[in-house]
Each structure stands twice: as structure tokens, then as C-alpha cells.
Amino acid sequence: DKATKVVGKIDIAETDEELIEKFLEDGELSEEDLTAGLKKAVAEGEVTPVSVACAIQNNGTSVILDAVNSFMPSPADVSPRRGVNPNNEEEVVCQPSADAPFTGFVFKTMADPYAGRLTLFRVFSGTLSGESFYNVNKKTAERFGSLFIIEGKEQRQVSSVGPGAIVAVAKLKETTTGDTLCTQDNPVVLEAPEPLSPVITYAVSGQKGDEEKLFSSLSRMLDEDLSLKMSREQQTGETLVSGMSQVHLEVVGSIIKRKFGVEMELNLPKIPYMETIKGTAKAQGRHKKQSGGRGQFGDCWIELSPIPGEKFEFVDKIVGGVIPQQYRPAVEKGIQEAMQRGVLAGYPVTDVKVVLYDGSYHTVDSSEMAFKIAGSLAFKQAAPAAGLVLLEPIMEMVVTVGKDSVGDIMGDLNSRRGRVLGMDSGPKGEVVTAQVPMSEIQTYANDLTSMTGGLGSFILKFSHYEEVPAQITE
């Protein structure tokens, strides 16, 4: 602990030549020296203080407030924020003066169960005292009822705000986090930080009867947290939520419960496997049913062949009228429905070319429904003969770790049936690129934290589908 404090003092001293000389001469820096040096370093962008706190439980908040008071510069003490005029791409300097044109930046959106959506922004220049401003990103004017200063749980209404103020307004229609607010006569766009890419995904569900309320609450949270993503997996029917870690998603769940009174359950998502064929095959689909009166009759012959990456193709090669034209689309529909249900393990079939080349019909008993059933039967007969295999989604990973962890990471990726594509040195550490089956990395965020002591990071994106090894399929 003592060594850590000494290192911290050295780090602060290194930002100022006078402090370096004093530290080398005296071997010590006073609290006044450290405070002045840190404040100067923060103002110049040399140091970024980090403090941990929980406002809801009032843990560590006094430390942060004291740090803000002691170390954070006023807007007048730092370089003015700079932006770009969207009309001519010229640089705009946002002077922290009450007389300058108004410029504000939306840094957070909050979902309030009573007030609706609260938009929080910081004023960088000028004075805001009216009832509207211009959102340059959305190219629209936004009207609001009142300006508020947030003070704990209280919202204090004010008539005007100036540079440095943190302000809240309610129920804006278009404005979202990252937008720049200004006047239409003096447009400016301030650079917004890129939202972090999610690295972990879970399936979410609510208690019976609460699903609609849960998904509505999640939609509000998307405005509040840009690193949170929600999607619908069409194949499995699951609603997926993605974030920075399991803890991140658990915190989102606790916020939803506290604000909206609904539980959010997290489960590992189902893997969206698919099926395909490796060879060619022909088969007949014949549907005949007689139950008194008009019967049902449909008969078709099809040939299957693989078309990697093309999903589905249907070719009509019927010659003559062995199957009337009006029934052929029904054959295709029956095949597609059978493909969606799967044959090998109940997963959708993909990358298949189907040729309809023969068949027969009955002038009275044939119908679209009969040929739809015939098409489905033909596919179920032909697919196994064509060599059905299971496909799994492969993800591309870019893992960044320290040099000491590279060996462990490489070995771990290999144990997950991964293929290491390359390794390079980056500004934040060693960068390992690999392709790994999705089924092997569902809990990778937690595993990477354990392997690197929390010092590793990774990004993830879908790459392609690949055949599952036989030993895994079994």
C-alpha cells in the first residue's frame, strides 16, 4: 500500500517539471502540492482520476464529490470544447461563456417510470433559457416544458443555465444519448464517444404474464445504456440481450426490478444450429387419401443438391402437364416448410437446391394442399439420402491481453475447438484473432476475467457456419 502511494505521487509529479524537481530534492510532496499538481494534470488531460461509488447505496459518493471539488477544473480553466459546423465542415470553438451561442451535449438518457424519459446534457457554451433548442444530429427542433437540475432524488426547476451546468429535461421526442444541442443559427456537432461493443449475450424471460412489461422496460433501458443491445433470434424464438459482462446484465435486471417492478431472468441462449446436405439425391413424394367423396392426391419427384452459401433455390423443370402450373408453387411451399422444421435434429435446413422434374396429378382429387404435403414428403425422403450434416455458428474473436497471458489464452482457445488466425501487438497489449464455435464461448467473458485477472478484453462477431465434427454431433 505504501509503495502504491509512492508510485501515485511519482505519476502526478511527472506531469509537472516543478513537482519533479521538488520530489527529487525533498523525496516527498505535500498534500497541497499533490492537489495542485493533480488539478493541473486533469485540466491538461494528462491524468484521469478513477473512483468507485454507488449513489443508490450512498457508498463512496462523498469521495467523488470531494474529488470533483478538489481536482476537477471549471470550464474556464480548460481548453474549450471543439466541434464541427455540419454545413461547411469548419471547426467551431465552443467558448465557455454565457454570451456565446448555446451548445450542449447529451451524455445520458434515463428511463423514469413516472416522468418518462429524462434527457441529461451538459452545457458547454452559451445560455439556455427558452423552451426549445435544435438537435443538429436529428435535424429537428425539440420543445420542452422545464429545465431541471438533478439533486439526488429531487429535481429543482430553473429558468436558465450556463456553461458547465448539468441539466435535465423530460419527454423529448427525438433526442438520444450522443446528440448535440444548439441553436439553428449556429449549428455545431460535438464528437460523441463510440459505444462499447457487447461481449456477452443471454436469453431473457419474465414471469408468466410479465413478458410484455419486461420487454417494454428493456426497450427503455436501451435508451439509457448504449452498450446494451436487444434482439430477437428468429430461429430459436428467444429474446436476447447483450452487454459488457454477466454482472452488467444482472445490474440491468436489478434496475428494471427497482424501477418497473418486474423480474428479468437470464439464461444461456440456445445455439442456432442449422442442417445442410453434402451430396445429391432424388426422391418421390406421394400423397393419396380417399375417405369417401372427393379425395386428396399429389405426386412429385425432386432432386436435391448442395449450394453452399446460397440458402435456397427452387428450379421448376416440369415438362408438359404432368403437374399443372397452379400446383407447382405448392410443392415449393411444402419443401420450404419441411426445411424450416428440419430432418436430422429439428434445425432449419439451408444451402439446398431443389429441382422439381416429374410427378402426376388427378383431375378431381388434386389440390394445392395435396401437392404441398407431397413436396414436404419428398424432401423428407431425399434429405437423408443426400447426406445430412449439422452446422454450427462460428464466431470471430479478437482478444487483447498482456504478454504474460498470451500462452494461456492460446491454449484455452485451442481447447475450445478454436482456430488461431494470427497474433499482433497493439497499443493495449497482445492481440489474438481466432475463430471459435459459438457453443464453446457462451461464458467466455467470465472465463477471460479469471485467466487474466480482469485485464483482458475481447470483441466478438459472427463469421460463418461450419459442419459440426462427427464426435461432437454424436
Label residues 272-282 b or e (16+ Cβ within 10 Å = b): bbbbbbeeebb
Task: Say which amino acid occupies 430.
Answer: E
193 is a domain residue: no
- Whether residue 255 is found in the same domain as residue 232: yes
List, for residues 161-176, the tens digit of each pLDDT value: 999 899 999 989 999 9
Task: Measure the CA–CA gap between 106 and 182, rounded to whole angstroms.
Answer: 11
Mean pLDDT within 23-32: 71
Task: Measure the CA–CA gap between 73 and 57, rounded to whole angstroms.
Answer: 27
Mean pLDDT within 274-292: 92
List, for residues 322-336, the tens digit of each pLDDT value: 999 999 999 999 999
- Residue 194: what pLDDT? 85
List, for residues 103-126, the tens digit of each pLDDT value: 999 999 987 777 778 899 999 999
- Residue 283: what pLDDT? 97
- Residue 153: what pLDDT? 77
Residue 266 — pLDDT band, cuts 50, 70, 90?
very high
- Whether residue 300 is found in the same domain as residue 316: yes
- Whether residue 21 is found in the same domain as residue 109: no
Question: How many domains does the chain divide into?
Answer: 5
HSE-CB for 44 with a 13 A CA cutoff? 10
Q: Which of 271, 343, 349, 340 is nearest to 307 (CA)?
A: 349
Domain with residue 300: its CATH number is: 3.30.230.10
Owning domain of residue 314:
275-386
Domain with residue 458: its CATH number is: 3.30.70.240
Q: What predicted TM-score, i.e. pTM, was given to this entire model? A: 0.74
- Residue 4: what pLDDT? 45
For residue 102, pLDDT beyond 90 = yes
List, for residues 310-324, the tens digit of each pLDDT value: 999 999 999 888 999
- Residue 131: what pLDDT? 87
- Whether residue 69 is found in the same domain as residue 109: no
Domain boundary among 73, 100, 127: 73
Q: Which three cell numbers stand for residue 40?
A: 493541473
| Edge-to-edge strands, sheet with 296-306 | 281-289, 296-306, 352-360, 312-316
- Whether residue 363 is found in the same domain as residue 403: no
364 is a domain residue: yes
217 is a domain residue: yes
Domain boundary among 182, 215, 231: 182
Task: Indicate the helix (H) or strand (E) that contains 101.
Answer: none
189 is a domain residue: no
Task: Measure the CA–CA gap between 317 and 298, rounded to whole angstroms.
Answer: 17
190 is a domain residue: no
- Whether residue 380 is found in the same domain as residue 400: no
List, for residues 196-208, the tens digit of each pLDDT value: 888 889 999 988 8
Mean pLDDT within 221-227: 88
Task: Measure the CA–CA gap between 200 and 249, rounded to whole angstroms.
Answer: 9
Label residues 57-83 b or e (16+ Cβ within 10 Å = b): eeeeeeeeeebeeebeeebeeeebbeb
- Whether residue 87 is found in the same domain as residue 68: no
Task: Measure the CA–CA gap between 362 and 299, rounded to whole angstroms.
Answer: 9
Cβ count within 10 A of residue 219:
11
Residue 421 — pLDDT band, cuts 50, 70, 90?
very high
187 is a domain residue: no
- Whether residue 381 is found in the same domain as residue 285: yes
316 is a domain residue: yes
195 is a domain residue: no
Q: Which of 85, 158, 162 is nearest to 126 (CA)?
A: 162
175 contacts 164 by C-beta, under 8 angstroms: no
Q: What average pLDDT does the structure give for the chain? A: 89
Residue 381 — pLDDT band, cuts 50, 70, 90?
very high
Q: Decide: residue 380, CB within 10 A, 0-12 exposed, 13-18 middle, 19+ buried.
A: middle
For residue 6, pLDDT beyond 50 = no
Domain with residue 162: its CATH number is: 2.40.30.10
Domain boundary among 267, 284, 313: 267
For residue 229, pLDDT beyond 50 = yes
For residue 14, pLDDT beyond 70 = no
